Amino acid sequence: MRRLVMNLWDAWFGAAVAQVEADAERFRTSPVGKRPDWKTVWVLIVAAVSLTGQHFWQTALHSLYNLILTALDGSRSSHDDPVTDLGQSLGLPWELAHLLAFAGGCVFWYCVPAVLVIKLAFRERVRDYGVKLAGWSSGWKIYLVFVTVMLPLVLCFSAAREFQSIYPFYRGWSPETDGWGRLLIWEWHYALQFVALEFFFRGFMVHGLKNRFGVYSVFVMTVPYCMIHFQKALPECVASIIAGVALGLMSLKTRSVWLGAALHISVAWGMDTCSLWRKGLFAQFIA
């Protein structure tokens, strides 16, 4: 088993990791590398600021959303589903507006501070932080393996109560009152925030830290990536550690985050689809 793992490592990541480590060693032993490394400082501080902004934006948004629901619908405890009640009585997609604001906040905090520091402080190209299209598909076989492993797990875990209590995020969607339109709007924005997330963690952090830490930039990035999953179900939180390392290594190999974003979106859409199916909402729509 150990030999199999080492053979897969050498075949998939060996050459890329060796190159990253050689580049990092050259940087650390160069005159520039021996001076204070302000780029590493900037990346870590911007990461902390972005994650802090993200957290408190979501907290404030959630509080405001609950305040609006309470003001418009009276006591939340008097209704089994106040979101659906509001949508039906007022015809306003309050939950959808809340979710779009959530997705917009994710895109802002994951992208804007990072892009600003890349352009203004580093004077570098954003495309060099995993956004380039050239070579993005070079690791497609490895991603195909990931998808083959992940999708059956999604189908299995979607039946668990702890996952049913979280997914889908758009809990007020109803086929009778909403049709497909609002659901598709949300799922598109849901995907967009995953692209932003991949750029931030596997692009900005990994490629911003690799000169100082080499391949260990992947493991530095994995710590905060795991922490943003603390409010999720335990299996998902544990899986985020594995995914963080795997997708980080793939970003180093391909120098692109696009296939990682595609995998992330596939898993998220798969979980939403399975959760809606298990709740019978697709059957109601078809009927």
Q: Give the chain's length.
A: 287
What pLDDT digit, counting tens, does each position of 35-80 carry?
999 999 999 999 999 999 999 998 888 777 677 666 665 544 444 4
pLDDT of residue 147: 82
Instruction: Report the share of the chain in percent with pLDDT over 90.
Output: 46
Highest mean pLDDT among 51-65, 100-114, 137-151, 178-192: 100-114
pLDDT of residue 174: 66
What single string gives the DSSP state of each residue in 225-260? HHHTTTTS-HHHHHHHHHHHHHHHHHHHHHS-SHHH
- CB crowding 135-146: b at 16 or more within 10 Å, else e: ebeebeebbeeb
Helix and strand counts by DSSP (H, E) for the chain: 15, 0
Structural domains of the chain, count = 1
Which among 80, 281, 255, 267 is positioned nearest to 174, based on CA atoms?
281
pLDDT of residue 40: 97
What single string gives the DSSP state of each residue in 77-131? GG-S-HHHHHHHHH---HHHHHHHHHHHHHHHHHHHHHHHIIIIII---GGGGTT
Cα–Cα distance for residue pair 126/131, rounded to 1 Å: 7
pLDDT of residue 167: 79
pLDDT of residue 15: 84
pLDDT of residue 283: 59
What pLDDT digit, counting tens, does each position of 89-125 carry?
444 467 788 888 899 999 999 999 999 999 999 999 9
pLDDT of residue 86: 47
pLDDT of residue 82: 46
> Taking residues 146-156, what's their average pLDDT?
83
Which among 68, 75, 59 is positioned nearest to 94, based on CA atoms?
68
pLDDT of residue 19: 92
Q: How far is CA 151 from CA 108, 168, 187, 244, 285, in A?
A: 29, 16, 18, 17, 24
Pull the structure tokens for residue 69.
């629901």
pTM, whole model, 2 decimals? 0.85
Instruction: Quickly tell me which residue has 């352009």 as its tokens.
Output: 119
pLDDT of residue 208: 97
Q: In the 8-state DSSP scheme, what is residue 36?
A: -
CA 265 to chain CA centroid, nearest Å: 8
Range of the domain at 14: 2-286
pLDDT of residue 97: 81
Model confidence at 195: pLDDT above 60: yes
> Taking residues 24-40, what's their average pLDDT?
92
Phi, psi of 81 (to 5 degrees): -145, 85
Cα–Cα distance for residue pair 192/94, rounded to 1 Å: 20
What pLDDT digit, counting tens, does each position of 157-170 carry?
777 777 877 778 87
Cα–Cα distance for residue pair 203/158, rounded to 1 Å: 29
> Taking residues 253-258, what's their average pLDDT?
91
Model confidence at 203: pLDDT above 90: yes
